[in-house]
Amino acid sequence: MQSRVVFACVLACWLLVATVGQLLADRVFLVVLGAVMVVTVYVWVRCTLKAVERQRSPERHQAELEDVRRRAEARGYVAGARKRLDSEGSMRLRLVRGDGQRPHPY
C-alpha cells in the first residue's frame, strides 16, 4: 500500500514536469523530466522489493526480534510482562543484578 502511494505521488510530479516541459519546450525541463522518470522507476522498484522481502521473511524478522530480546536480557533489561510475574501470578517489577538476583521483592 505504501509503495502505491509513493508511486502515485512521484507519478503526479512526473506528469506536472511533463506538462510544464511541453509548454515551455526547454531542454532543461526535458532533462528534469528524464530525471523524475528515473527516480519514479527507482522508488517503485525499491518499494516493491522491500514489500516482497517483508512478505518472504517473517521468520527472519522474528529471529532478529528474539536476538534483540536476548541481548537486552543479557545487559540486565527486563524483557516483558512475563518476566515480571511472580509465583502468585501478580505483576511485580523485577530488578536484575549482575548475579541474576532481585535486590528487592517488588
- For helices 58-74 and 27-56, the axis angle rounded to 10 degrees is 70
Q: In the block, which residue shows the cell 511472580?
A: 86
Comparing CA positions, the residue from 55, 37, 105, 100 lying closest to residue 73 is: 100
Give pLDDT tens digits for 35-44: 888 888 888 8
Distance CA 91, CA 86 (A): 7
What is the per-residue pLDDT for 49? 85
Domain regions of the chain by residue span = 2-56
Give pLDDT tens digits for 23-33: 666 777 777 77
Cell (9 digits) for 64: 532478529
72 pLDDT band, cuts 50/70/90, is: confident
Tell me, what amino acid is at 41? V
- Helix, strand or coil for residue 18? helix
